[in-house]
Amino acid sequence: MYISFSNKPKQADADGTPRPRGRRTVSSTVVAFGVVSMLTDISSESITAILPLYITGFLGMSTIAFGFLDGLYQGISAVVRVAGGYTSDRIGRPKWVAFTGYAIAAIARVGLLFASGFGALTAVISADRIGKGIRTAPRDAVITASSRPENLGASFGVHRTLDNIGAAVGPLLAFFILLLIPDGYGTVFVASLGFAVIGVTVLGLFVPNVRTRSDAPADDGPDATPSPRPRFQWSVVLSGPMRRVLAAAGLLGLLTIGDGFIYLVLQARSDFAAQWFPLMYVGTNIAFLALAIPLGRLSDRVGRARVFVYGHAGLLAAYLVAALPIADIAATLLCLVLLGAFYAATDGVLAALAAQLTTPETHGTGIAAAQTVVALSRFLSAAGFGILWYVLGRETSILVVAGLLLIAIPVVAVLLRPYMAATGGDSGQSLETTTGEEETR
């Protein structure tokens, strides 16, 4: 390994008690940040879930034109994401960059209480997306900085599990409120604001202000001098192992057509799927959250690149189940579980992989770059698949993509071969010590 893992506080070594390898612990910072993400996801998903009902049923509008804004948001979010990662690397304080992202989203919700119309809603969602773009990479940088290299995968797994609990609870909470109060949209907005505020508060109070630049001053003292030379290097992100990871993520991303199309195939064939269509992404989410920790741990043991690459077999299997002519409940559920497994094997694991292959000074940008490549390539993939769908028909086009994926997985495995088994935890004995007081089960 030629990547250093010098991001641990010095006192960790002073503490000096080596822990048995493979002990299943993650830092309390990771759990705290997981709780922040959970609360924030409850907040944003509760609004997202009721949006269609609110706009059409309550405001009495048909908003076909709303769809075309979505592509724009995707673009903004991608640019902002790299900027967020880069900023957090340059100033070396990912927590406060992330805090800005969370705070923007929370403040936007205040506006919703006073002007609840379509325009206000659009503004809130824009702010939410921008905030999400800003906060994602610094958040993952904090998680990296407060985790031991050898359990980075498990740390991201814990975080993604909590995150997805929020994404599953948010819609249920919103619909529960609407079940009690059928026109209680205002109540949902208040609840959303409440959870956002609690989330930001937990972030401010319970997530330590970790430094990602080793030459940054260790405290917030007023006489802390700015560091003379930030050691941020683009070459860490854009060449060497990271270049291969970005290429791999991009190639696989181009063959990730998006859940939407898979759900549509299922829906067109099965009455069960048609009836439960609005809930399919919740099912995928639940599988994701259930599998994020086990697969994160697996990636710590057998290599993150390996789990990331072979995790796409879950996607491949989901394509096959969707395309094969089995129209029953079991096939639909299996497909959702496979999709969830795919996300669990790739989402947090990719962040862990990017963190593993970058220096502490470039974690934020490296993670952001990987996530941006994935987002953009999936966006292109969805657009391209739509054309294929029309030309070849539903099942055939899915089978074509499945065939390409079947070829791409081994190709990417070869491309990433030098890093397949690397877990970041076996590069030196100092890595077996822990950060001491921040451990929790």
Partner 1 sequence: MTAKAKWLVIIIVAVVALGATAGVAAFAWSQYQSRQNAPSSAEIAASADWTTSNRIVFRNTAPGQGYGHVAGVPIDDPGAARSLLDIACDRVAATPDSFSCLRTERGITPSYDARLYDSAGNQQLEWPLPGVPSRTRFSPDGSLVATTSFVTGHAYASIGFSTETEIHHVSDGTSLGSLEEWKLIIDGTPSAPVDRNYWGVTFIDDSSFYATVGMTTVGQTYLVKGDIQSRTMTSVLETVECPSLSPDGTRIAFKRVTSGSGPTVHWTPAIYDIASGEVTVLDIEKRNIDDQIAWLDDDTLLYGVPNDTPGDSDVWALSADGADPAQIFIEHAWSPTAVRG
Choice between 64 and 218, CB closer to partner 1:
64
Looking only at residues 338 through 397 of this chain, which bind partner 1 when binding is defined by CB under 8 A?
383, 386-387, 389-391
Give the C-alpha separation, 43 to 407, whole Å.
40
Under rule CB under 8 A, residue 171 binds partner 1: yes
φ, ψ for residue 207, nearest 5 deg: -100, 120
B/e letters for 177-211, b = 16+ CB within 10 Å, e = fewer, are bbeeeeebbeebbebbbebbbbbbebbeeebeebb
Residues 41-70 that bind partner 1 (CB under 8 A): 44-45, 48, 51-53, 56-70
Interface residue with partner 1 among 4, 6, 11, 122 (CB under 8 A) is: 122
Q: 232: phi > 0 → left, psi -120 to 50 → alpha, else beta; which?
A: beta
Interface with partner 1, residue 219, by CB under 8 A: no
Nearer Cβ to partner 1, position 208 or 230? Answer: 208
CB of 41 to partner 1, least distance (A): 9
Asked if residue 282 binds partner 1 (CB under 8 A), the reply is yes
Span near partner 1 by CB under 8 A; candidates 281-289, 323-331, 350-358, 432-440: 281-289
Among residues 14, 179, 218, 414, which is the contact residue for partner 1, using CB under 8 A? 179
Contact 192, 46 (CB under 8 A): yes
Please give the residues from 125 up to 144 whose contact with partner 1 meets the rule CB under 8 A.
125
Phi, psi of 439 (to 5 degrees): -90, 145
* Nearest-approach distance from CB 4 to partner 1, in angstroms: 32
Whole-angstrom CA distances from 337 to 174, 291, 368, 375 are 24, 9, 27, 22
Would you say 135 and 202 are in contact if contact means Cβ atoms under 8 Å apart? Answer: no
Among the listed residues 383, 417, 402, the one whose alpha carbon sits nearest the alpha carbon of residue 338: 402
Q: Please give the C-alpha separations between residue 425 and each of 69, 97, 292, 350, in angstroms, as whole numbers.
A: 43, 28, 19, 16
Residue 247 contacts partner 1 per CB under 8 A = no
d(CA 240, CA 3): 11
Which among 144-152, 225-233, 257-265, 423-431 is the span making contact with partner 1, rule CB under 8 A? 257-265
Q: Closest distance between partner 1 and the C-beta of residue 179, in Å?
A: 6
The answer to the question of residue 186 lying near partner 1 (CB under 8 A) is: yes
How many chain residues interact with partner 1 (CB under 8 A)?
78
Shortest distance, position 276 Cβ to partner 1, whole Å: 8
User: Which residue number, 2 or 68, has a Cβ lying nearer to partner 1?
Assistant: 68
DSSP letter at 56 equals I
